[in-house]
Chain A
Amino acid sequence: SQQGEEDPQALSIQEGENATMNCSYKTSINNLQWYRQNSGRGLVHLILIRSNEREKHSGRLRVTLDTSKKSSSLLITASRAADTASYFCATLDSNYQLIWGAGTKLIIKP
């Protein structure tokens, strides 16, 4: 079943702007992961944040986690055309199973 729910479902912004995507989940988690999927390709792991962490950075990516609200956000700063892709959040539950959200489709306009 889909536990995570990303919003928005689709996001279109100008190159150079920041893009923010959100993910909500329902049960307790070990960690939350964000993946990117380029059109016609497999998913690629971007960043992982543990349940006891609140913020994580990796290059132009910033992830926050609020376990009290059961939500996370992924911020991509200074977006580039190459960031155009679908972004999925996945939560690792207590059985070490990844539960996937429905994804946000991000379009960066040049």
Chain B
Amino acid sequence: DTAVSQTPKYLVTQMGNDKSIKCEQNLGHDTMYWYKQDSKKFLKIMFSYNNKELIINETVPNRFSPKSPDKAHLNLHINSLELGDSAVYFCASSQAGTSRNEQFFGPGTRLTVL
């Protein structure tokens, strides 16, 4: 069984479009995350979210918005896509607020903006 799943795996779209990436975890974790990994493999936290708090990395443009219909899902919606948004986006989850906070990652969504 997949612990953290993301769809789609690949997404190719035109500049200016709006798109969403979905993430689901079946681990019963209370916190989910979105990361962006660029071509140089730098891993950058975009959001962390639990049912109490959304923490936004202040460098993330407001064109990006997380949407959580329930504890097991955290979708990423992107408006007005730009060329620089091309990257691999990873969803992750953890049981946060503990002394471990080991994170479990999804397989990634490779977004290409043309």
Contacts and interface: CB of A to CB of B under 8 A. Distances in A.
B42 A31 contact: no
Contact of B4 (A42, A97, A105): A42
Classify chain A: how many residues form its interface, as a range: 20 to 34
Interface string B83-112: 000000010100011111111111110000
A102 B38 CA distance: 11
Chain B residues touching A, majority SS? loop
Contacts, number: 56
B60 interface: no
Contacts of B42: 2, 102-103
Contacts of B40: 102
B75 interface: no
Interface residues of B, number: 24
Interface string A72-110: 000000000000001010101000111010110100000
Contacts of B103: 43, 45, 90, 98
Interface of A: 2, 30-31, 33, 37, 40-45, 48, 50, 86, 88, 90, 92, 96-98, 100, 102-103, 105
Interface of B: 4, 40-45, 48, 55, 90, 92, 96-108
